[in-house]
Amino acid sequence: MMHSKLAVVRHPPTACLQGKPASQELLHGILQAPSKVADPTEAPNREALVLKTPPMVSLNTSRPNALLAALKAAIDANKITTWAYTSDGDFTHTPIQWKGKAFMRPSTVTGAELRFAIVCPKGGSVGTEIYAIYHGRFTEMMLAHFDGDFVLAAASAMPKPGDIVRDAA
């Protein structure tokens, strides 16, 4: 059975177990991996069946612009009260301890995907805890309110191109 989101990646099995950061070679391998599942029995290194990492938060949908509009409408109608969006269209988590700590910036891939990059506040940065909270809670909210509008939700464990975790100012 083929699936378009998995790929086999070779790496030493102890790299992740020892809490060491993933090497650039491993990250490059994940990002450049083929878009199909290789048969694990044929894989050169069976220890590493890894989900091909999407950029940022990714929602696979045939109608990304409609999903984004529905998200904004739900916030405007107070159906979603733990997220708000700015005049620039970026989303932020509204509970007091997380408000304005980061922003989720939307982009679309026509007919395929709605993506959200994480962006730090002006003059600030996004650490591991904020990154995790924003990605997890945003994905949770989308599943709770729009599960019929996309087929797959995925979040990257580490910043991807497009994410801005430290302000250069």
Please give the DSSP secondary-structure letter assigned to residue 148.
G
Beta strands in 9-68 (DSSP E): 49-51, 57-60
pLDDT at 48: 34
pLDDT at 100: 94
**Residue 41 main-chain phi, psi, to 5 deg:** -75, -20
Summarised one tens digit per residue, pLDDT across range 107-143 is 998 889 999 989 988 988 898 999 999 999 999 999 9
Please give the DSSP secondary-structure letter assigned to residue 85.
E
- How many other C-beta atoms lie within 10 A of the C-beta of residue 66? 12
pLDDT at 163: 74
d(CA 82, CA 79): 9
Q: Which amino acid is located at 19 in the chain?
A: G
Residue 149 pLDDT level (bands cut at 50, 70, 90): very high
Mean pLDDT of 83-94: 96
Please give the DSSP secondary-structure letter assigned to residue 10.
-
What would the two tokens of residue 167 be?
Answer: 């302000």
For residue 64, is pLDDT > 70? yes
For residue 55, is pLDDT > 70? no
What would the two tokens of residue 50 be?
Answer: 């890894």
Ranges of each domain in the chain:
6-51, 57-155
Task: Judge whether 104 and 155 are in contact, CB under 8 Å.
Answer: no
For residue 49, is pLDDT > 60? no
Which 3 state secondary structure label does DSSP give 141?
helix
d(CA 155, CA 125): 19
